[in-house]
Structure formats: C-alpha cells, structure tokens
Structure 1
Amino acid sequence: MQFIFFGKYFTSLYSNFLLRDIRAEFQSAVEQFSSSKNEQANSVLSTYAVSYDAPVFAFTEDYSVIGQGLFNYLSILTVRVPGVGICRILISGLNEMPNINLNDILTIEAVRVGESNYFEPYSILSTNNIYLYRQTERAKSTKTMTATSNWYTKNEGSLLNNRARIIYDLMKACLIKRKDIKTYLAAITKEPFTDKRGTSYYIISESRRKDGVVTYFVTIRPIVVSNSEVRYFSNYFYTVYCILGILLIAAVFILSRKLSAPIVRLSNVTSKLASKDFSVRANVNLQNEVGQLSASINVMADNLQAAMEELQQSAEIAKVNEKRMKLLLADLAHEFKTPLGIISLYSEVIENGMFEKEPAYYFGMCRMRN
C-alpha cells in the first residue's frame, strides 16, 4: 500500500508542496523589488538568483528589459557599431564563438530582443570566417550591422548560466515577435519544462504594477524528488503507521467495551428473569436497537411479574377453597355418621334375626331417623 502511495501520489504531492514554497519565495522577492528603489531593486533580484540558483528575467508590458539581470549570466559578444553605439550579441551555447578573432571586422545579422540593446544573431561573418549562420526565417526587424572593437564575455558551465540560457531561450520568441505576454506566460508556465538532459523545471512568473506600468518577472526552478526524500518519508510513514495502529487498537478496545457493556447488562437481566426474579429492569437508555431491546425486556418483565402475581392470587384462592371443601366434607361426614350407624345397627338386627317385632317396624324406624 505504501509503495502504491509513493508511486502514484507522493511525487505529485511532494512537488506541489515544493512549488507552493517556491512561489512564496519568488513572490516575496518580487514584492521587495517592487517596493525598493532602482539600485536596491536590482540587488534584490541578484540576491534571489544567487540564493536559489534561479536567475530572474524582468521586463515591462512594452517589452523593455529591466537591467542586465538575466544577461549577466549569458555569454555575450559586445561590439561597437559606427553610428549606432554599443550592441550586445547573445551567443550563449554557440560553440564556435570562443574561436572568434576579436580583431576582425564583423558583419552581423541580428534582431533586437524587445526594447533593449541586446540582439539575437542569425549570422556572424568576417572576411575570412563564418562564425555563425542560421538557415532560419528572418524577422522583419532583422538588422545587418558592421562591428568593430569587439570583445567577448564568456559565461558558461554553472547552474546560473544554464538556467539563464533556458529562460532566455523560452522568452526570446515572446520579446522578438512581440507576442501577447499574458497568453505566452500562461502557456509556458502551465506544464513543467524538461531540458535536453532530462531535468524538469517549473517556469514561474509574477507580475506587478508600479507607476502605471506592469512589470513581469520570470524565473526557473527545478523540482527533483530523489530517493532520499522517499526514504525519509518512508520512515516517517512507518512511524505514523505504528502510532495509528496503536490508536486503532485502543479505539477498537474502547468501542468494543462501550458497545458490549449494554449487551452484558441485558444478559444479566435476562438471566435473573430466567431464575424468576421479575423485579430487575434493564436500564439501557440508548437511541438504537439495543435501547429498543432494553425497553422490550422491561415490558416483558412487567408482564411476567403481573402474570405471576395473578397466579399467586389464584393459588391462594385455591387453597382457601380447598380448606372450605375439607370442612364441608367433614361436616357432611359427621352428619351422615349417626343415621348411617342406626341403619347399620337395625340392619344387623334384622340380618341376625334378633328382632322382637316385625321387620317393617324397624324399617319404619330407619325412615323416621332419616
């Protein structure tokens, strides 16, 4: 059961908890940025980036990039274009760039990233070398510039560099093609993003209105659930299961005692009723079937007690009647005893022939006695 829980629910649940905390941290940094002055505001985003290895890309609703923030972690070819000034070409991830000859006069075809002096290059050429050439459709705002006085800033390899590049690759299409920012951010933040190495990231965005201008903030944070978290929570759940098991056993014991106590009382009452003790009553005042059974037993006890009282009264009446019958029989026996004795005597006289007068005389005497 526990492995099913971890396999199906734990990763999602743990990721949601982490994402909630990450959003809270990012919202706090955005609030500090919004309430700070310009110099302090930039340091807030830098501090957040260093603390969480999560660069922050800030730009306004009119596609103006705020500060250098994100671009400080990208490799940039800085060039001076006559009549234009300093332009910064974003070349992170282009393996050919470290071999560029900075003394060459470069012909660069690039498109501006939002309202900034940063450019996404399509081609970088010199007289003798092709450093970059992309066979992709050029944007309408693509510019071709001839650059001199070049210098190259390399930022590659660290977590901040890699994550800054991921954010830039995701956001450059929005700024270059001037897509609807809210719709675009809703699309890229809806599902986790997975890079070429298989690492999953959440793109997190926030927006704040300051001085009538909406500013958008975008960062990237990985959410990784490793075996260490699973083992930690596995031990945690074992402890929880033990505690719950003990509580369950205690609850079952208490409930069983609570449920069986009325049954035991009813059993004792019925045992006394069976031994003809009809004075006992079942005092179980519950609003359930046990309470109904208790009331039924009490009714039965009342009826049995009334029946026994009637039987006792009948028995007493029968004893009185029997005593009267005996007295009646005794009186009758006494009353019959004298005449029967006379009759018996005269019968013996007649039978033995000891009479002096005629038998009719003696029979008449018997009738007179009766």
Structure 2
Amino acid sequence: MEKAIDEILLSGTILLGEDFEPFEGYLSLRKGVVAEVGSEKIDSDLEGIICPALVNGHVHLGDSVLKDPPYLPLEELVGPGGLKHRILERASRRDQVEGMKRSLSYMARSGTCAFADFREGGIEGVDMLLEAMEGSGMIGRIFGRPDPGSVRVHQRCWGVGISSTRDHPRSLVEEMVEKARSEGKRVALHAGEAGRGDIEDALSLSPDLLVHLTRAEERDLKMVAEAGVPVVVCPRSNLVTGVGLPDVRRMLQMGMVVGLGTDNVMLNSPDLFSEMEFLSKALLHNDRQVFMICTLNGARILGADDEAGAISPGKRCRIMVIDRRSDKMWGVRDPLASVVRRAAPSDVLAVY
C-alpha cells in the first residue's frame, strides 16, 4: 500500500465500530478522518491496540491547585465555604491557570480527547480555563457558574453547571436555568450525591445532564430514565468522599445513557484508565459496556460524537494507540478487556 501525503498509517488490533470488535489490520487516517480500514500487512507509522480516545464526562480542573486534601465529609470538603473554596480564594490566578494546564496536559497525553468541566469562579474562572486550554487540541465543554448577583454565565460556556439545588435559593436556580435556555446553553446539575432529596428538584428543571446519583433509589432512577436524562458517574470520587457508589448496572438496565468522569482533581488524578478499571472490577464486570461508557456514551453526552467515540470508515475520529508490548500489557489475549482493566497512561504510545 502506497502512503499518501498527510496520511498516518496505524496497524495492529483495531477496536472497530460502536461494538468495539477487535479487527486485525491497518487503519489510514487522513486529516483526522478514517479514510480506510483493511486487513493486509503494511509498513505502518505505529503498531499497537488502536482505540477511540477517551471522554471525561465530569471534571473540576480548577481544583488542580489543591492535591490530596485530608479526608473530610463532603460538605466540609466541597460545599459552600468548604476547604476547596477557601483554597481557591487564596490561590493566585497564575497558579490556578498553571494547575489547569498541567492537568490538561496529563489528560491529553493519557488518551483523553474530550472533557466536561464544571467551572467555578464566574466569568474570570472561565477565562482562566480558556487560557489554560489554548493549544491543547482537546474538545472542551465548559459548564460555568454566574458571578455573584448575576444569572448569566460566560458567553463561551457550553452550559450552566449547578451544584446541588439545596445549595442555592430555588428562585435563583430557576433564573440561571431560564437564562441559560434563552441563550441556547445546556443545563447540568449535581444530584443525589450526599442524599436523594435533591433529585426530584433537579429533574423538575428539565436538565440536559445529571452527575452522581450515588444515593438514588429505584424510584429515583426510574424517574431519571423516564425523563431521558443522561447521567455521568464518578465512582472513585464517591469512594473517597464516602457518599456511596452509583448503581450503574441498574442505570444501564433502565436504558440510561451513562458517562464516566473523574470529578475533582484534588481527590483523584484525571486518569480515565484508573476510573475504567474501578468501574469494571467493582461495579459492572462488563468491559465492553465500560469502554462504551468512557468513549461513545461520553461523546454523545457532550455532543461530540461526530468526531469522537468510535472508529468507523469515513468518520472524523480521535484515536489513541496502546502499546501491547509494554511490561504491563505483554501477554494480552483480550485487547478490549486489557485496555479497560490493565492499561495505564504510560502505555499510550500516541493520540491522534
């Protein structure tokens, strides 16, 4: 096969299509588009396990200035006036931007191509994240929060990101949601994290996305499923804060679109390989479903499935290549299971 100009040739095991069926062969990538997939032997630019890049459905990158805080109850850690907010108030703008840059760099190098950030700090907070994102090449969806006394988020936000409805006067939350809707923005809320009492309130606002649902009961999950609202779960974060673990298996049985997030950088690194391993081993025991949650589902939730989420001929796609000959991956028999349960950021050879 003759290589064209501006073409990248990859060979090995391709996790192909929306079912991620392993396919032995090669892939031609031209200007970000999967131009060709074939089974013949070729001289390639890189060989390995060729996968869709990962999507982090919920992260707080602004927390990158604070690492490994003491174990505290959720409210004391991240609630209004909690440790996180006190640290951020004292942190310099320079340090906050630098922390976000470093987290973004880590995410990009470790195979994450897209993320949704719940950004505090009002207009200035979003400006800091936009500065940190310059040149990252990542797909970023920012859910911002208004400045005090305002209900409008930054014009470049994809949506408004609201903590629990219990943290704000109901009238203020309704105004924020109404303003976001009038500007064509999405609405996302934390719900059911510390308790189930805010789930019905959150649903009454017709959100585009809910995060956590760790304390949701069967009746709550049924309401969410019937409303057709996607959910992003963050199990490692929930484990650290002691709020329980989401019933992801039941969510999927009910037909929900579920994504995966790493949540606060201060609690866990934005490492989706660790998140996938935990989700698979502790909650699902279904590697294909876990990989779908972390790729295709995440891309759909963020409106980015036209350029991420699955590898298909003719589609623009973000791709990562995993080294199956590394000390950690040597001896792989099931490429999909090994990517989900065993691979680490150090095994990522390249991201295209």
- TM norm structure 2: 0.23
Q: Which has the larger radius of gyration?
A: 1
- TM norm structure 1: 0.22
